[in-house]
Amino acid sequence: MSAAICAFILTFSTLCGSRAVSGVLSPPRNVRHTSFNMNLILLWDPPEDKPDGLVYTAQYRTVQQTYTEVCTNVSTPECDFKEHLFVYGKYTSRVRAQLGDDVSPWVENNQTFLDKRTIIGSPNVTLFSSGATIEVSITDPVFATSSLRNVYTKATYNITYWKESEEEKTIISNIEQSRVVLNNLDPRTKYCIQVQIDTNRDPEFSEPSTPICESTTDDEEPPWVVAVVTFVGMAMMVSLVLVAVVYRKMISNFLCPTDTLPQHFKEYLLDPPNSPMYLAMRNSHPPEEVYHQVSIIPDSNTVEEGRPLEAAGTNCSRQQPDVTQIQR
């Protein structure tokens, strides 16, 4: 009987697995670093038997330091170390899973050199067309730590350009300037341009920029013509300034003369007019108007009220009105 009980207990323990006995979780899988523009992120895959409520803790260390905990009890399978980085550091990371009081073993990642492991993003490129030339302006990508020129001091640019309708490409390498003018292009033609950073170390190249296209215009006047016109214009302006300075008194006297009129001119202009006609008009009085008073005396034979107009007219035609008396 006791042998049967022991066999049952042994079988039950085997079926429940070692987790119930030891309290150890399965560790995360596929632990790896990834870096873009000098950041550093630790990634991993959850355990195969991922239970609900599982969280993770991630740490990192350098050669001179012990492990520093960065992410604690996070549920997402990643941890960003960008705020704890040194450009030329060599980093080792580890992560473990936790469920309540149960924890998994630490899973450590290999050492990573940040400046050699990072992926450099593409530069930003803008174009400006002027005549049969195109000016290329290049801006470096923004790093999470330091800048591209501080990390890769010998970095240069490779510029590739081609006509939009053709497959043949021209490459200009080892360019140090961030502003480059492409000369001797065909007028009224669209060119496409792509730029890539060459660090001259590991990693050697950045991601290439997205090709952008710009059209050239008609040929402009030769540069010497523009220079001559500019020189002549400046020479004329300087001459005018010198003339104004040297002859400023003459110019001032001409614009604002200080001479006065002779005294007899002033007296003549200030004297009142003495023309006979003017004096006669000024001293004349309005003429006296002559008029006669007129009075109208009505006829004694007036038209009776209600009498026909014809009768009144006949009567008027036969009778002569009295003579109007005019009084003076």
Residues 6+ apart with CB under 8 A from 31: 42, 43, 44, 93, 94, 95, 107, 108, 109
Check pLDDT > 60 for residue 6.
no
Residue 84's nearest CA partner among 69, 63, 74, 97 is 69
Q: Would you call 81 exposed, middle or buried from its count of C-beta atoms within 10 A (0-12, 13-18, 19+)? A: buried
Check pLDDT > 50 for residue 218.
yes
Structure tokens belonging to residue 292: 């006669």
- Pairing type for strands 29-34 and 68-74 reads unpaired
Question: Residue 21 corresponds to which amino acid?
Answer: V
CATH classification for the domain delimited by 20-117, as one of 3.30.420.40, 1.20.120.80, 1.10.486.10, 2.60.40.10 = 2.60.40.10
What angle do helix axes 223-246 and 248-255 make, rounded to 10 degrees?
Answer: 70
Structure tokens belonging to residue 318: 């036969």
Report the distance separating Cα 67 and Cα 190, nearest Å. 56
> What is the value of pTM for the model shown?
0.59
Residue that is written with structure tokens 């993003």 in the block: 121
Higher pLDDT, 128 or 272: 128
89-93, 114-118, 153-157, 253-257: which has the highest mean pLDDT?
A: 153-157
Higher pLDDT, 174 or 253: 174
Summarize pLDDT for 168-215 with one digit per residue, the tens: 999 999 999 999 999 989 999 999 999 999 999 989 999 999 999 999
Check pLDDT > 60 for residue 146.
yes
Check pLDDT > 80 for residue 54.
yes
Check pLDDT > 50 for residue 272.
yes
C-alpha angle 56-62-64 in degrees, rounded to nearest 5: 135
Confidence (pLDDT) at 88: 85
Summarize pLDDT for 238-248 with one digit per residue, the tens: 988 888 888 87
Residue 117: CB atoms within 10 Å: 17
Summarize pLDDT for 35-49 with one digit per residue, the tens: 999 999 999 999 988
Confidence (pLDDT) at 219: 64
Are 20-117 and 124-215 equal in CATH topology?
Answer: yes
Domain ranges within the chain, ordered by starting residue: 20-117, 124-215, 225-279
Residues 6+ apart with CB under 8 A from 233: none
Q: Does the N-terminal peptide bond of residue 203 adopt cis geometry, omega within 30 degrees of 0?
A: yes
Contact at 8 Å (CB) between 209 and 194?
A: yes
Provide the mean pLDDT of the chain.
Answer: 81
DSSP state of 36: B
Q: What are the helix and strand counts (H, E) for the chain?
A: 9, 18
CATH classification for the domain delimited by 124-215, as one of 2.60.40.730, 2.30.40.10, 3.40.50.2030, 2.60.40.10 = 2.60.40.10
Contact at 8 Å (CB) between 196 and 209?
A: yes
Instruction: Provide the Cα torsion 223, 228, 230, 235; round to 10°.
Output: 160
Report the distance separating Cα 83 and Cα 71, nearest Å. 12
Between the alpha carbon of residue 70 and those of residues 9, 42, 56, 129, 290, the distances in Å are 43, 11, 11, 49, 125
- In this prediction, residues 208-224 reach a mean pLDDT of 82
pLDDT confidence of 222, banded at 50, 70, 90? low
- In this prediction, residues 111-126 reach a mean pLDDT of 93
Summarize pLDDT for 291-321 with one digit per residue, the tens: 777 778 876 555 454 455 444 444 444 444 4
Report the distance separating Cα 174 and Cα 196, nearest Å. 10
DSSP helix/strand/coil, 143: coil
Higher pLDDT, 223 or 327: 223
